[in-house]
Amino acid sequence: MASVDITLPDGSTSTVLLFPAAGSHKPLVVMWPGFGVGARYYRPMAEWLASRGFPAAIGELRGQGTSTAVATRANSWAYHTMVTEDYPLTIEAAKRELSLDDAHPVILLTHSMGGQIGTLFLADPRSRELNVLGLMGVGTGSPYWKAFNPKTRRTLYFGAPFMGGVSRLLGYWPGGKLDIAGYGRQSGRHVREWMGISRTNSVSHLAGRDYKNALLDVRVPVLYTRFNDDEDCTIASAEALAMHIPSAHPKVEELKGNLGHNRWAREPEITGRRFVRFYEENFA
Domain region containing 137: 2-142+209-282
Cα gap 88→78, rounded to integer Å? 15
Question: What pLDDT score was predicted for residue 217?
Answer: 98
Q: Is 0.85 surpassed by the pTM of this model?
A: yes
In a domain, 163, yes or no: no
Q: Is 233 within a domain?
A: yes
Question: Does any domain span residue 187?
Answer: no
In a domain, 150, yes or no: no
Residue 179 — very low, low, confident or very high, per pLDDT cuts 50/70/90?
Answer: confident
Which pLDDT tens digit goes with each residue over 15-62? 999 999 988 899 999 999 999 999 999 999 999 999 999 999 999 999
Q: Is the pLDDT of residue 181 over 70?
A: no
Q: The domain that contains 243 carries what CATH number?
A: 3.40.50.1820
**Whole-number average pLDDT of the chain:** 96
Q: What percent of the chain has pLDDT over 70?
A: 99
Residue 183 maps to a domain: no
CA-to-CA distance for 253 and 154, rounded, in angstroms?
25
Number of domains in the chain: 1
pLDDT at 124: 98
Over residues 135-159, mean pLDDT = 95
pLDDT of residue 273: 99
Long-range Cβ contacts of 269-273 (<8 Å, 24+ apart): 269/48, 271/45, 271/138, 271/225, 272/45, 272/48, 272/49, 272/52
Amino acid at 75: N
| 92-116 tens-digit pLDDT | 999 999 999 999 999 999 999 999 9
Judge whether 245 lies within some domain: yes
Average pLDDT rounded to a whole number, residues 141-155: 94
Residue 147 inside a domain? The answer is no
